[in-house]
């Protein structure tokens, strides 16, 4: 089977591209980020006509996440345990940003992978951080920390659970994952952001796309970044040990960045056997 993650940057503007990716890669599950619409605005019928179910979570033209599946969608959740909302200001006494309603940045569901059994998959749109001196940066770290705690608890409860944490992580894990380490203003690659990303390994998860694929996953629309291949790798697939053991391949669909109307991200596809 194949699962993929993709920051589509507006599902209503790129529904045809999403359908093309599903068909071209013969996907069983596609996790989307930045759908930029409310659930009732998602073009569900286009996907249902092709045998897919859709679970979507969004509030307005910002953020928003979805899961598209042809192997079922059960136990849909639109927030993970402990997910913080965004509260302006710096954290006091190390406390998380728990004020306010959580943004539409996470959606989870169970899918039935036949012989592999049930997989708990989360489509995740990690906060950008905006700038190192911005309150949103502290929110980003708190958000990642809360997600890691949730993931660690799930593994502690069931070490054999098959869990996939997929999406736009807005972190550049290594210097090799960006065309120029000085080109981001420092954001995405601070020591704290990288530590928050690699904390999932410490919790027992495995990033399963890097072994098989080495391309960037994002190129800004400005300054001819894509033709110059000045990109970043910020989209990843973290799998629990029981799921990672079934991964047999992965690819980054760089060609999806080509042509008129492309998203600034491309799909990351993982094959399970």
Which of 57, 138, 246, 265 is catalytic? The answer is: 265
Bridge partners, residue 69, by sequence = 29, 53
C-alpha to C-alpha distance for 201 and 217, rounded to whole angstroms: 21
Catalytic annotation present for 168: yes
C-alpha to C-alpha distance for 65 and 80, rounded to whole angstroms: 13
Which of 28, 57, 168, 253 is catalytic? The answer is: 168
CA-based nearest residue to 88, from 99, 72, 74, 76:
99
Is residue 63 annotated as involved in ligand binding? no
Catalytic annotation present for 125: yes
**Taking a C-beta distance cutoff of 8 angstroms, is the pair 67, 109 a contact?**
yes
Catalytic annotation present for 238: no
Is residue 229 annotated as involved in ligand binding? no
Is residue 251 annotated as involved in ligand binding? no
Is residue 90 annotated as involved in ligand binding? no
Which of 28, 57, 125, 246 is catalytic? The answer is: 125
CA-based nearest residue to 267, from 2, 3, 1, 5:
5
Edge-to-edge strand order for the sheet containing 118-125?
74-77, 106-112, 118-125, 163-168, 235-239, 206-207
Hey, is 130 helix, strand or coil?
coil
Is residue 60 annotated as involved in ligand binding? no
For residue 61, is it left (φ>0), alpha (ψ between -120 and 50) or beta? alpha
Is residue 246 annotated as involved in ligand binding? no
Extended beta strands in the chain, E state: 2-7, 29-33, 53-57, 65-69, 74-77, 106-112, 118-125, 163-168, 206-207, 235-239, 247-252, 268-272
Active site residues: 125, 168, 265
| Binding residue positions for Mg(2+) | 7, 34, 168, 170, 264-265
């Amino acid at each position: 089977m194949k699962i993929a993650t993709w920051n589509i940057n507006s599902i209503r503007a790129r529904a045809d591209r999403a359908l093309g990716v599903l068909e071209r890669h013969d996907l069983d599950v596609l996790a989307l980020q930045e759908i930029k619409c409310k659930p009732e605005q998602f073009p569900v019928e286009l996907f249902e006509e092709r045998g897919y179910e859709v679970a979507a979570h969004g509030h307005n033209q910002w953020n928003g996440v979805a899961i598209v599946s042809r192997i079922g969608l059960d136990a849909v959740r639109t927030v993970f345990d402990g997910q913080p909302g965004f509260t302006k200001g710096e954290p006091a006494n190390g406390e998380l940003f728990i004020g306010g309603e959580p943004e539409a940045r996470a959606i989870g569901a169970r899918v039935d992978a036949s012989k592999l059994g049930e997989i708990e998959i989360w489509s995740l749109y990690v906060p950008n951080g905006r700038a190192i001196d911005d309150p949103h940066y502290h929110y980003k770290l708190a958000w990642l920390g809360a997600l890691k705690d949730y993931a660690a608890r799930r593994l502690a409860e069931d070490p054999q659970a098959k869990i996939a944490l997929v999406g736009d992580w807005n972190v550049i894990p290594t210097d090799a994952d960006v065309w120029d380490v000085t080109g981001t203003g420092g954001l995405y690659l601070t020591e704290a952001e990288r530590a928050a990303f690699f904390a999932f390994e410490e919790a027992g998860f495995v990033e399963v796309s890097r072994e098989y694929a080495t391309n960037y996953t994002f190129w800004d629309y400005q300054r001819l970044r894509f033709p110059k291949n000045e990109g970043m790798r910020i989209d990843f697939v973290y799998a629990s040990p029981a799921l990672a053991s079934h991964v047999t391949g992965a690819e980054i669909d760089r060609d999806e960045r080509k042509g008129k109307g492309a998203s600034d991200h491309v799909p990351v596809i993982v094959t399970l056997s």
